[in-house]
Amino acid sequence: MKIESDPYDPLAESGCGPQPKPLSEPRNLKQQVFEAVRASGRIPRVELARSLGISPASVSSICATLIESGLIEERSDDLKPSEAGRGRPRVSLSVRGDARYVAGVKLSDQKHGAIILDLSGTMIASATMDRTGGVMTFDTMLAEACEVLDSALATASLARSHLSSVGIGVPGLIERGAGKVLWSPILIDRDVDLRDRFARLVGVPVEIDNDANLVALAELWFGAGRERSDFVVVTIEHGVGMGLVLDHRLYRGAMGMGMELGHTTVQLDGALCRCGKRGCLEAYVADYALIREARTALNLGNRGVRSPQDLLESLYDHAKAGNEAARAIFGRAGRYLALGLANVASIFDPSLILLSGDRMRYDYLYAEDVLAEMENLMLKTGRPAPQVEIRTWGDLLWARGAAALALDAATREAFATEPVAA
């Protein structure tokens, strides 16, 4: 098991997006070549042709068109001193970052975040906005989303009109095709038209998605999932979410609202979940579940004298100090998490499960006995359990995933008029 803090280097030239594979189905060749260049960061034509399984002549012809359209550019590779003077320097291709800009916005009850990326996936600027917590009206959400977006744009010395697309992430049930938030724990209103309302406000095309899906997109585009065909992300913070990548693509379900791991039932007639049901996984693992138990374990009753974050930190400190009641709370949360992960592993058989979110600081949630319990609850096949890695990110992970959503939309728009070739 590997624990890693935010590895994203916005200045790295390692590229972004899923690693390319040879063409095996009708695709838009220009878009495929462009995405392969972006995924590589910098790549010579001959290597690009080899990676895609197409002829060097086809690659040269397509790249000439992409250069003419201003989407990619040629760059001379840096040579070692011993190689200088040996004929013409090798030329590589890279994406022209300033050809397009996109933004990603993540909204939550505690802190909003926004990030600006160029077309190559390089981070240009970011901004965060602290909140006092609690639910908000839809109008308040829209106003605050505009505020944090404009703050990031100001840092980048850009205007809304410079953006090709904006991605926005919200916790809850998202009907992505319709652009609606059906229910969110941070919203008073239900069934709201977030995509179109926000697009009218900012004057830019908008894409929306569930925040857990955006974490999976962040991993797929920038993190551990770039070279994985199949993996799962489980997020543990204010709720429990899940993102699933199959064959290098995010899977959302037939209605676009699948993968709600936090709202799978793990105990009939169990603890009350904030969704209104009883016995949901997140009713035992999420922040509000731990806080509910902490008030009893620490003899705080219902006194509102401490913030939720202070309560969680105090509960954790008590557990580390040996308080049996506090240890039991984390122990039970860990067992229920093991049950949820075992179900995920048995159903989807992923090669990798990434546990992500701020709560990964609480090691009782992924102690060795929790992972051992996960394996014990899985179907016995004689094969090893999925690899489990812990990812502790900063505040902008979700916004980065939202920006990847926007980057994908902007790329598809740029090639929308191109014919599909066999």
Query: Which pLDDT band, with edges at 50, 70 and 90, does 182 fall under?
Result: very high
* In a shared domain, residues 103 and 67: no
Q: What is the pLDDT of residue 101?
A: 98
Q: From CA 242, how far away is CA 413, in angstroms rounded?
A: 28
Token pair listed for 353: 């499960």
* In a shared domain, residues 34 and 134: no
Q: What is the pLDDT of residue 417?
A: 72
Query: Which pLDDT band, with edges at 50, 70 and 90, does 21 fall under?
Result: low
pLDDT digits (tens, 9 = 90+) for 110-128: 889 999 999 999 999 999 9
- The answer, yes or no, to whether residue 82 has pLDDT greater than 70, is no
225 vs 161, which has greater pLDDT?
Answer: 161
Q: What is the pLDDT of residue 235?
A: 87
Residue finishing a domain among 97, 124, 146? 97
Q: What is the pLDDT of residue 2?
A: 34
Q: What is the pLDDT of residue 5?
A: 35
First to last CA, the chain: 42
- The answer, yes or no, to whether residue 8 has pLDDT greater than 50, is no
pLDDT digits (tens, 9 = 90+) for 224-262: 888 888 999 998 877 889 999 998 889 988 777 788 899
Q: What is the pLDDT of residue 303?
A: 55
In a domain, 91, yes or no: yes
* In a shared domain, residues 151 and 247: no
What's the structural domain count of the chain? 3
* Structural domain boundaries enclosing 47: 3-97
In a domain, 419, yes or no: no
In a domain, 223, yes or no: no
pLDDT digits (tens, 9 = 90+) for 197-214: 999 999 999 999 998 899
Q: What is the pTM of this model?
A: 0.85
| Residue carrying the six token digits 């003419």 | 68
In a domain, 131, yes or no: yes
- The answer, yes or no, to whether residue 395 has pLDDT greater than 80, is no
Least confidently predicted of 101-105, 150-154, 197-201, 285-289 = 285-289
> For position 62, which CATH number holds?
1.10.10.10
Q: What is the SS3 assignment for the chain?
A: CCEEECCCCCCCCCCCCCCCCCCCCCECHHHHHHHHHHHHCCECHHHHHHHHCCCHHHHHHHHHHHHHCCCEEEEECCCCHHHCCCCCCCEEEEECHHHCEEEEEECCCCEEEEEEEECCCCEEEEEEEECCCCCECHHHHHHHHHHHHHHHHHHCCCCHHHEEEEEEEECCEEECCCCEEEECCCECCCCECHHHHHHHHHCCCEEEEEHHHHHHHHHHHHCCCCCCCCEEEEEECCCEEEEEEECCEEECCCCCCCCCHHHCECCCCCCECCCCCECECHHHHCHHHHHHHHHHHCCCCCCCCCCHHHHHHHHHHHHHCCCHHHHHHHHHHHHHHHHHHHHHHHHHCCCEEEEECHHHHCHHHCCHHHHHHHHHHCCCCCCCCCEEEEEECCCCHHHHHHHHHHHHHHHHHHCCCCCCEC
> For position 298, which CATH number holds?
3.30.420.40
- The answer, yes or no, to whether residue 348 has pLDDT greater than 70, is yes
* In a shared domain, residues 189 and 148: yes
**Is-contact 388 353, C-beta < 8 A?**
yes
Q: Considering the chain, what percentage of its residues have pLDDT values greater than 70?
A: 86
Over residues 389-409, mean pLDDT = 87
Q: What is the pLDDT of residue 389?
A: 87
In a domain, 421, yes or no: no
Q: What is the pLDDT of residue 298?
A: 72
